Amino acid sequence: MTHEIAVIPGDGIGQEVTPAAVEVLETLEIDFEFREGDAGDAVQEETGEALPDETYELAASADATLFGAAGETAADVILPLREAVDSFVNVRPAKAYPGIDAVRPETNLVFLRENTEGVYSGHEDRLTDDVATLTRVVTESASRQLAEFACEYVEDNDYDGFTTVHKANVMRETDGLFRDTVADVADENGVETDEVLMDAFATHVCLEPDNFDVVVCPNLAGDVLSDLAAGLVGGLGLLPSANVGPDRGLFEPVHGTAPDIAGEGVANPAAAIISAAMLVEYLGYDEDGAAIREAVETTLEEGPRTPDLGGDASTDDVTEAIVDRL
Amino acid sequence: MTHEIAVIPGDGIGQEVTPAAVEVLETLEIDFEFREGDAGDAVQEETGEALPDETYELAASADATLFGAAGETAADVILPLREAVDSFVNVRPAKAYPGIDAVRPETNLVFLRENTEGVYSGHEDRLTDDVATLTRVVTESASRQLAEFACEYVEDNDYDGFTTVHKANVMRETDGLFRDTVADVADENGVETDEVLMDAFATHVCLEPDNFDVVVCPNLAGDVLSDLAAGLVGGLGLLPSANVGPDRGLFEPVHGTAPDIAGEGVANPAAAIISAAMLVEYLGYDEDGAAIREAVETTLEEGPRTPDLGGDASTDDVTEAIVDRL
Ligand SMILES: CC(C)[C@H](C(=O)O)[C@@H](O)C(=O)O
Ligand SMILES: CC(C)[C@H](C(=O)O)[C@@H](O)C(=O)O
């Protein structure tokens, strides 16, 4: 069976780390067909569109998409692409690796972020000169779909349960619906949960990151709190993510385009390559995913390392070392 | 001139730390008249109302209010009280103190949080069984008032400028209006600013807290990011806050009711007492405010200390030590 993979490197170091991830995928005994698409600032400059229709269609029809990074146009690219793959959950592991400097080395969390609504559903109005509004949408159905995924995730990965993070003391109807629906689904599935307010979570995760493992939350909370966890593990540089839909998914490093080092061939490909591991796991090849993760972790620990981790290796050196360890 | 001060201890350790703050205020050569009001879980249980009308009126007419903490009813108490004092900005310093364990000891930030709108303006609807909505409101006028305060704050306290934090790449109209208005006001006042996206801020403040000093942001961003900073300085235990309005203000420790230690007389009064320092500064007594801060800081460094800081002193011991050092 051939898996069609859309490859959208985007801007900046996306152009360097995405090919590295493809190179790793090519060493596996899996039949992939890669199709490249354009997106981001450069295409916008050329064509006036940050996300050309062909690229949207490519992601919407491929079995999975590897995305790199986009610059100023990030929101115009990534939000429609999440929609293109019909993604309802953004899976964001934030894990500190041995040997890598981290503010909180005990951090090992996975965020399951609602990926379609909240303030992202984007109904805004400028009502008067003075007043602008945004309609934040929460549905029972999206909350239920996320919670069902969370329950499966907890079972598949042998977790004890999950923590729901929300701000239902202020957003009583919307986050109340989210919280109650998630709790109901967990109950139905016999999964244990607890809940923490979003602000309290921000304090506690700094103080005791090992108190949390799977965190289920609305869209913006997931955006901000996973970036907070990224700070605790030492930066966005090593974080992968998966935008999961029922039939397809989009996999992307959490880091951006890193304009300061783009073009120099020294970008750290680890996050893109772990995202590729999430991609093959999504397609059902758990052993291959585990093998990639192991090769990346060994390389992080033993080197070679790119300059962001204090080494002087190139993207290619690191990619080769990972391929060799597979 | 007599200053009328509403004192609302609330629940849990609010009942212990608020009298400590009053005791400190009583040692100053300022003419205060204290009037006590009830609020919180206990009153709710007794009367069915978490915030009795008299208490609301007390805060709405006093020159300033000292508030302690509220339990489950926190939102029902603190949100109307902020309105009672017509507060448009919540000033939240997050500072690590020498000798106190902190995840990031270099942290020394002040959040200026918009205090009236955003998702807190609270228009929610359950449109259908499936759909709930919340209307997030951002106005130019509230953004302008906050920004004008920020410019004065920066000047009065000799900062170089401030950082605006927002999520205008997603909330384009609402946070766009916020960002642009704040930038315009800063320009008009010759104050330097930069801006960071809310998610990026969460990462960066963990990695390089000393890159930030004054942070201006919308309501929910201020809630979450100031609690994040609280995590970096070692917890909510030492953080004061000021809800500032044009004619009155409400001053409260950021910590909650601490049910685990409530009633034992060992709550740390530092945050409530620094909040009292913010109160006297608000009333124009800068020297007294500075004296209180100094006495608290010396006591934090040299002791006595309450159990949360590894000591075995009581609330009274610490309060007395602070009073003695005044
Ligand atoms: C670029 C932006 C729209 C996006 C988001 O807010 O979701 C990014 O921050 C992310 O988390 O992938
Ligand atoms: C109790 C709650 C409504 C409140 C808020 O969200 O503002 C609290 O978290 C705070 O920050 O003072």
Judged by CB atoms closer than 8 Å, whether chains meet at B228 and A79 is answered as no
Q: Which residues of A touch B206 (CB under 8 A)?
A: 103, 206, 228, 231-232
- The three state secondary structure string of B91-131 is EEEEECCCCCCCCCCCCEEEEEEECCCEEEEEEEEECCCCE
C-alpha distances in Å from residue A297, one per residue of A14, A21, A23, A100: 21, 15, 17, 10
- β-strand partners of B123: B135
CATH class of A1-97+237-325: alpha beta
For A200-222, write each residue's pLDDT tens digit: 999 999 999 999 999 999 999 99
Nearest chain B Cα distance for residue A319, angstroms? 26
For A181-200, write each residue's pLDDT tens digit: 999 999 999 999 999 999 99
Average pLDDT of every residue of chain A: 97
Given this model, what pLDDT does residue B54 score?
98
Given this model, what pLDDT does residue A291 score?
98
Q: Which residues of A touch B131 (CB under 8 A)?
A: 137-140
CB-based burial label for B117 (10 Å; 0-12, 13-18, 19+): buried
User: For residue A100, what pLDDT band results from cuts at 50, 70 and 90?
Assistant: confident
For B16-49, write each residue's pLDDT tens digit: 999 999 999 999 999 999 999 999 999 999 999 9
User: For residue A78, what pLDDT band results from cuts at 50, 70 and 90?
Assistant: very high
**Cα–Cα distance between B121 and B142 in angstroms, integer?**
12
Given this model, what pLDDT does residue A99 score?
81
User: What three-state secondary structure class fits A7?
Assistant: strand
> Which ligand gives the minimal distance to the CA of A40?
1
**Cα–Cα distance between B42 and B47 in angstroms, integer?**
9
Give, for ligand 1, the residue of B198, B199, B201, B203 to mutate: max count of ligand atoms closer than 8 Å to Cβ: B199
Specify the residue with its C-alpha closest to ligand 1, atom 6: A223
- Sheet of strand A131-139: strand arrangement: A118-126, A131-139, B131-139, B118-126
Global pTM reads 0.97
Q: Is the CB of B172 under 6 A from ligand 1?
A: no
Given this model, what pLDDT does residue B286 score?
96
Q: Is the CB of A75 under 6 A from ligand 1?
A: yes
Checking if the pLDDT of A122 tops 80, the result is: no
> Which ligand gives the minimal distance to the CA of B227?
2
Given this model, what pLDDT does residue A166 score?
98
Could you give the angle at which helices A53-61 and A74-84 cross, rounded to 10 degrees? 40
Checking if the pLDDT of A320 tops 90, the result is: yes
Beta strands at B32-36 and A131-139: parallel, antiparallel or unpaired: unpaired
> Which ligand gives the minimal distance to the CA of B202?
1
Q: Are A319 and A24 in contact (CB under 8 A)?
A: yes
For A14-48, write each residue's pLDDT tens digit: 999 999 999 999 999 999 999 999 999 999 999 99
For B278-322, write each residue's pLDDT tens digit: 999 999 999 999 999 999 999 999 999 999 999 999 999 999 999
Q: Is the CB of B308 under 6 A from ligand 2?
A: no
Q: Is the CB of A47 under 6 A from ligand 2?
A: no
CATH of domain B103-233: 3.40.718.10
Judged by CB atoms closer than 8 Å, whether chains meet at B74 and A204 is answered as no
Residue of A nearest to B198 (CA): A224
The residue extents of the domains of chain A are 1-97+237-325, 103-233
Q: Are A318 and A270 in contact (CB under 8 A)?
A: yes
**Cα–Cα distance between A155 and A149 in angstroms, integer?**
10
Q: Is the CB of A199 under 6 A from ligand 2?
A: yes
Checking if the pLDDT of B255 tops 80, the result is: yes
Residues 6+ apart with CB under 8 A from A276: A21, A22, A24, A25, A66, A251, A292
C-alpha distances in Å from residue B228, one per residue of A315, B163, B239, B255, B262: 34, 16, 12, 13, 24
Given this model, what pLDDT does residue A235 score?
84
CB-based burial label for B54 (10 Å; 0-12, 13-18, 19+): exposed
